[in-house]
Amino acid sequence: MKTVLLVSSFLLCLLAGCQSNSSKPETRQRVQATSKEQQRQLAVLEKDTLNAVQEENVRKPGLALTFETVFQRFKDAVENQDTATFQTYVDPALGLYLIDAPGAVPQFTHVAHINQYRRPVQQKPFFSIRETFRDCALQEVTALPKVTCAGDADAYAQRGCFVADATSFRKSEAYLHANLSSTERDKIARTLPLVTKTVLHTTSGFKFHFGQVNGQWRILFIDLMVPCNA
């Protein structure tokens, strides 16, 4: 009886050992399968993340564009009187300030939508500026041309369409001399530091002041005052 028990125990041990040994390849196979599945899931996650970033860039067209491209589209919107495209460059929270001079004192007008604006003289709509705002092939310079009032066609030392850093405009205190409430002056003072690029179109004398807000190029101020026109 003892012999039978010993033999039975021995056989059970052998069987258990065989089952254990036979399970090792299965375990390795399961581990390999799990590893492959994890790699597949990681690849899918990376692809989904890339797609999400690309979709975000599509939703925010100004994010990855150069300033030259942004200005070209802005200029085209003005020339074509494309209100919808123009509005994409107006920040919904900050709006847009337009500067004009119907008299000796500059006039600052704040609008949320460009269709709200009328020029002080003859009450023309904003897009009427396309009559003189033409042929603007952008040239980057370190400093904008100076006003000379010497030429017949242009009031500047150089003729063309120039873009430079907006250091000079950021320091401007013209708004302090305008007929504005203290609240409006505070808003302008908070907006001025956001301006980083100024575009000057010498033929018209117009200046366009841009800045990046939340990663997107926005038009923050447009100066429609004409120099040497007193």
Which of 162, 224, 226 has its CA nearest to residue 198?
162
Structure confidence at residue 228 as a pLDDT band (50, 70, 90):
confident
What value does the mean pLDDT of the chain take? 81
Residues 30 and 71 in one domain: no
Query: Could you identify the residue written with the tokens 């100024």?
Result: 198
Read off the pLDDT of residues 153-210 as tens digits, 9 standing for 90 and up.
Answer: 678 989 999 999 999 999 999 999 999 999 999 999 999 999 999 999 999 999 999 9
Residues 71 and 45 in one domain: no
Q: Within a domain: residue 11?
A: yes
Task: Report the distance separating Cα 193 and Cα 180, nearest Å.
Answer: 19
> Range of 148's domain?
67-223
Cβ neighbours of 107 (radius 10 Å): 17
Helix intervals (H) in 60-147: 67-79, 83-87
Q: Within a domain: residue 140?
A: yes
Question: Would the pLDDT of 71 be above 90?
Answer: yes
Q: Within a domain: residue 229?
A: no
- 196 neighbors 165 (Cβ within 8 angstroms): yes
Read off the pLDDT of residues 33-70 as tens digits, 9 standing for 90 and up.
Answer: 556 666 666 555 445 543 443 444 444 444 568 999 99
Kindly report the length of the chain: 230
Q: Which of residues 15, 33, 59 is at a domain's end?
A: 59
Q: How many domains does the chain have?
A: 2
Question: Would the pLDDT of 18 be above 60?
Answer: no
Say what the pLDDT of residue 30 is.
Answer: 60
Using alpha carbons, list the distances in angstroms from residue 93 to 125, 131, 215, 220: 23, 30, 14, 11
Task: Report the distance separating Cα 62 and Cα 185, nearest Å.
Answer: 28
Q: Within a domain: residue 228?
A: no
DSSP 17: H
